Amino acid sequence: MTISVQGVVSRGKGEPVQIAEVLVPEPGPGEALVRVQACGVCHTDLHYKMGGIGDDYPYLLGHEAAGVVEAVGDNVTDVAPGDFVILNWRAVCGQCRACKRGRPWYCFATHNATQKMTLADGTPLSPALGIGAFAEKTLVAAGQCTKVNPAIAPATAGLLGCGVMAGIGAAINTGGVTRGDTVAVIGCGGVGDAAILGARLAGAKTIIAVDIDDRKLEWAKEFGATHTINSRSSDAVAGIRDLTDGFGADVVVEAIGRPETYKQAFFARDLAGVVVLVGVPTPDMQLDLPLLEVFGRGGALKSSWYGDCLPSRDFPMLVDLHLDGRLPLEKFVSETIGLGDVEAAFTKMEHGDVLRSVVIF
Ligand code: APR
Ligand code: ZN
Ligand code: ZN
C-alpha cells in the first residue's frame, strides 16, 4: 500500500524549496522503507536546488540521514524492520569491475530503489543521491541501509552518511594518514573539520587547519587542529612549510574544491607526500601546474569520492568509536531544525554560520 508523507521538494532551478505531499510505495524486491529520524542539510542539497547537479526536477532533497527500517521487500536479508540504520549512497553492487577486483569502496554501479516516489499527482521525484530523506519516510535500496548501534543520537549518526564520512575518509582511507604524520587541511567547513578529526584519530602529530575565516579556525581547534593559518592574511604554503620544519606536510587535504586552494595543497606537500581533493569543483574550473613539479615532487595526487568509504565497514566502526568517547561527532550538529526550516538552513550554510543544520522528525 502506498503511503503519504511530507517531504522537502525542489521544483525548479533556484526556486525556494517547499514541503509537499510525497507518495511512497511499499518496498518491492531488494528495497527498504525507512522512517527517517534525522537528516542533515548538505551543500549537495543546495546544488540540486540551484541546478548544479542536473535538471531532473522535481527533486526530493535530503541524504545525510539515519532512521529505523519499517518494512523490507522480498530478497532482503541484511536489514530487517526495527533496525536502526544510517543511509548511504554507496550500496555496493558486487558485480562491477571495481567490486570484482576487491575494491568495493569504488563501486561504479551502486544501487538505489527501483520504484519511484511521486508527488500527489503522480509526478515522479528524483531523490537526492538516490536517498530523498527530507521526508518522514523514504524508499531506498536495502543496501543503502547500514545497521549501526542504536545508542548513537540519530542527528549525529545521519551525518556519517555523507559529509562527515567524506572528510574522515579523505584523511584515513584516501590519504592514508597514520601515526606521526604531518597533515594540513585547507577549508574547515564540516568536511574539512571531519578530515581534521580523522587525522587526529589516525595519530597525526601535526594538524594544520587553513581557512579564511577565523571563526572556522577556532572550531577546527576543537576537532583537533594543532595549528591554524588564516590564508586571507598570510601565505598558506609558507605557513604550512614553517610548521613542518620547512618541508611541507605528508598529507594535504583540500576540502573546498577550487584551483587556487588545490595549488596551495600541491605546493604545501612534502616530497612524496599525498594531496587529497575531497572538495567538489564546478565544471568551469581549470587547473594549471608545472608538469616538472608534478613529476619532481613524486607522491600521489588523489581524489576522494565519499571518503572512499565502505559503509558496511566504516559506519559501524565510527559509531562504536563515537560511543566509546573517542570521536566527538556530535560537534558537527550546529542546530536541530524542523522540516519547514530547510530553506533558512541553506542561507545559514551560505553565510558559514553552521557546520550542519539537522532536521529532526
Ligand atoms: N581558502 C581557504 N578557505 C576557504 C577558501 C579559500 N580560498 N574559500 C572558502 N574557504 C573555507 C570556508 O571559509 C569554509 O570554512 O572553506 C570552508 C568550506 O566549508 P563549507 O562551505 O562549510 O563546505 P563543506 O560542507 O565543508 O564542504 C566542502 O566538500 O563535499 C564537498 O561539496 C562540498 O565542495 C564542498 C566541500
Ligand atoms: Zn560494484
Ligand atoms: Zn551530502
Convert the pLDDT of each residue in 109-147 to its tens digit.
Answer: 999 999 999 999 999 999 999 999 999 999 999 999 999
Closest C-alpha residue for ligand 1 atom 29: 279
The ligand 1 atom at the shortest distance from the C-alpha of residue 210 is 2
- Grid cell of 74 as nine digits: 522480498
Convert the pLDDT of each residue in 22-59 to its tens digit.
Answer: 999 999 999 999 999 999 999 999 999 999 999 999 99
Name the residue with cell 587553513: 210
- Residue 242 CA, chain-centre distance (Å), reads 31
**Which of these, 205, 152, 196, 189, lies nearest to 172 by C-alpha position?**
196
Shortest-distance ligand to the CA of residue 166:
1
Convert the pLDDT of each residue in 316-330 to its tens digit.
Answer: 999 999 999 999 999
Mutate which of 256, 263, 309 for ligand 1? The one with the most ligand atoms within 8 Å of its CB, which is: 256
Closest C-alpha residue for ligand 1 atom 25: 190
Closest C-alpha residue for ligand 1 atom 16: 187
Shortest-distance ligand to the CA of residue 53:
1
Q: What is the pLDDT of residue 1?
A: 86
How many Å is the Cα radius of gyration of the chain? 20
CB atoms within 10 A of CB 85: 27
The ligand 1 atom at the shortest distance from the C-alpha of residue 260 is 7
Mean pLDDT over residues 331-342, rounded? 98
3-class state of residue 300 by DSSP = strand
Ligand 1 binding pocket includes 188 (Cβ within 6 Å)? yes
Confidence of residue 311 (pLDDT cuts 50, 70, 90): very high
For residue 31, the CA-to-ligand 2 centroid distance in Å is 17
The ligand 1 atom at the shortest distance from the C-alpha of residue 278 is 29
Shortest-distance ligand to the CA of residue 88:
3
What are the DSSP calls for 226-283, one per residue? SEEEETTTS-HHHHHHHTTTTS-EEEEEE-S--HHHHHHHHHTEEEEEEEEE-SPPPT
For residue 106, the CA-to-ligand 2 centroid distance in Å is 7
Ligand 3 is a single-atom ion; what residues have CB below 5 A from it?
42, 44, 162
The ligand 1 atom at the shortest distance from the C-alpha of residue 258 is 7
Confidence of residue 356 (pLDDT cuts 50, 70, 90): very high
Mutate which of 165, 191, 347 for ligand 1? The one with the most ligand atoms within 8 Å of its CB, which is: 191
Convert the pLDDT of each residue in 218-258 to its tens digit.
Answer: 999 999 999 999 999 999 999 999 999 999 999 999 999 99
Check: pTM over 0.85? Answer yes or no.
yes
Taking the C-alpha atoms of residue 94 and residue 226, their distance in angstroms, rounded to an integer, is 41
